[in-house]
Amino acid sequence: MTVYVDDMAMPAQVGGLNAKWSHLIADSREELHEFAERLGLKRAWFQDPAVSSKMGPAKPGTYAAEAWHYDVVASKRKLAVAMGAIPVSLFDLPDLIHHRMEHGTCR
């Protein structure tokens, strides 16, 4: 199992924090949550499109539903890489998510 962090660096204001944001994903939810906790992220920050999204819950088993992740600011991205997360391009995420769907590691 592996944890990945992309290079999106999208500027956005979330709450009172104006930062550049990227995505933290993993091969399994369990691994993602364990890594996120060690990284200092709150479980409440986990984004699960099958539960909620701007367009309502995504249909289970679809790519949209399986695009669960944590958003991380640049400093957390750097720390994640130092802790062993694999840095990837934003454009690698679809293949990584499809791979975990094909291998049944989504849940």
Q: Where are the alpha helices (DSSP H) in the chain?
A: 29-39, 74-82, 93-102
- 75: Cβ contacts below 8 Å, ≥ 6 apart: none
pLDDT at 22: 98
Max Cα-Cα span within the chain: 39
The model's pTM: 0.90
pLDDT at 105: 56
- 31: Cβ contacts below 8 Å, ≥ 6 apart: 1, 2, 3
d(CA 103, CA 107): 11
Q: What digits encode the pLDDT tens for the residues 5-47?
A: 999 999 999 888 999 999 999 999 999 999 999 999 999 999 9
Per-residue pLDDT at 49 exceeds 70: yes
pLDDT at 56: 82
Phi and psi at 35, nearest 5°, equal -65, -45
Q: What digits encode the pLDDT tens for the residues 80-105?
A: 999 999 999 999 999 999 998 888 65
